[in-house]
Amino acid sequence: MFAVGASALLVMSAPVMALTVYKYVDKNGVVTYSDQAAPGAEVFQFRDRMVERIESQVKLSSKKHEAGETLIVDNQLHAPVQIELSLSGLSNVSGAPDKPLTWVLPPRSKIRLLTLAPRDASKPMRYKSRLKTALGDPRLLPKNYAYPLPWRGGPFRLTQGANGKYSHFTRKGRYAMDIAMPVGTPIVAARAGVVVKTENQQSGRGNNPSGNFVRVLHEDGTMSVYLHLMRGSVKVLEGERVKVGQLLARSGNTGNSTGPHLHFVVQRNVGLAVESIPFDFSQPVNSLPNFAVGGD
C-alpha cells in the first residue's frame, strides 16, 4: 500500500500502460491506496502517458519549385529539438537519402532539410514522409547539480520515489519523486533555465494525465518538470527565463493524481527519446527548504 501522492509519468510519446489502484477511506477519514480490490473502494487507473503536443510546434512542410520540392522543418519551441526524417513509398524521386536524416534544430529555428527532384519531369513525384521528434539536444551531458526543494513551506513527505510500484516504473519517469502537500503550496524553480512548455487549464482529473505542468530547460540539456499543478496558477510563460527560487505555480491535484501532491522529475534526450534521469535534492524532502521564508 502507499499514501496520497502517486502520479502519472511524464513522457513525450509512448505506448499506454495502465495500472488499477484502489482508494479506501476508513471511518476516521484516513485515506489509503492499494493494488488490492475490496468492496466500496474507489478505482484509480494510472496511465504512463503525457501528451505535450510538440508536433504542432515542430512542423514539416514542403516548398515546390521548378527543380522539384524542398522539405523544411520549423521548430517553434523555446528548446532545441532532435528530428528524424524518413521517406518511404518513393516513386519517380531522386535526391532521397538511403537512411533517415537526423538533425538537432536550435530553438525557434527552421532548416531546409533536403531537396527532392523528379527523375522524369513529365511525371509527378510520390513519397511518404515521417518526422519523429524529441525535445532536447542529446549531445549535451548532464552536470552534477543538487536540486533545492522546489516548494516553499513544509515539511512535507515523499510518497513515491524512484522505481515506484504504482507509476514510476518506465524509462520516462522511473526517477521521479511524488511529494504530498496541500493544494496551493508555492512551487518554485529548483534550477535556472528557460520555460519550454506549460499547461494551465486542466481542472480536476482533466483530459491530460499529468494535469497542469511547467517544463524548464537547463543549460546542460536536462529538463525539470513540475506536474499536477493547480488550475490557473502557472505564473510563467513559455520562453521566459527563470531563476532558482522563482515562483512557477501552486501545487494541485489535477490530472491522473490520487491526492494533492507535486510530481517532480528530471529528464534528458538520450537520442530521439526523452528519459528520466537520477537526481539528488540538496536536503531531505521532509525538511524546510532554504528559501521557505519570504513572499511570492
What pLDDT is stored for residue 210 in this prediction?
A: 74
What pLDDT is stored for residue 196 in this prediction?
A: 97
What pLDDT is stored for residue 147 in this prediction?
A: 97
For 49, 72, 76, the CA distances from 14, given in Å and listed in that order, are 6, 26, 22
What pLDDT is stored for residue 207 in this prediction?
A: 60
What pLDDT is stored for residue 11 in this prediction?
A: 35
What pLDDT is stored for residue 41 in this prediction?
A: 63
- Per-residue tens of pLDDT for the chain, all 296 residues: 333 344 333 333 333 344 455 555 555 554 455 556 666 666 555 444 444 567 789 999 999 999 999 999 999 999 999 999 999 999 999 999 999 999 999 999 999 999 999 999 999 999 999 999 999 999 999 999 999 999 999 899 888 654 444 444 467 668 888 899 999 999 999 999 999 999 998 887 656 667 899 999 999 999 999 999 999 999 999 999 999 999 999 999 887 776 788 999 999 999 999 999 999 999 998 888 766 544 44
What pLDDT is stored for residue 160 in this prediction?
A: 60
Task: Read off the C-alpha cell for 168.
Answer: 514510476
Q: What are phi and psi of 54, to 5 degrees?
A: -75, -15
Q: What are phi and psi of 241, to 5 degrees?
A: -90, 130
What pLDDT is stored for residue 128 in this prediction?
A: 96
What pLDDT is stored for residue 53 in this prediction?
A: 62
What pLDDT is stored for residue 173 in this prediction?
A: 62
pTM of the model: 0.79
Bond before 155 cis per omega within 30 degrees? yes
Q: Which residues contact 202 (CB under 8 A, 6 or more apart)?
A: 208, 211, 212, 231, 254, 255
Task: Read off the C-alpha cell for 263.
Answer: 510530481
What pLDDT is stored for residue 18 in this prediction?
A: 47
- Name the nearest CA neighbour of 78 among 100, 114, 52: 52
Task: Read off the C-alpha cell for 91.
Answer: 516513386
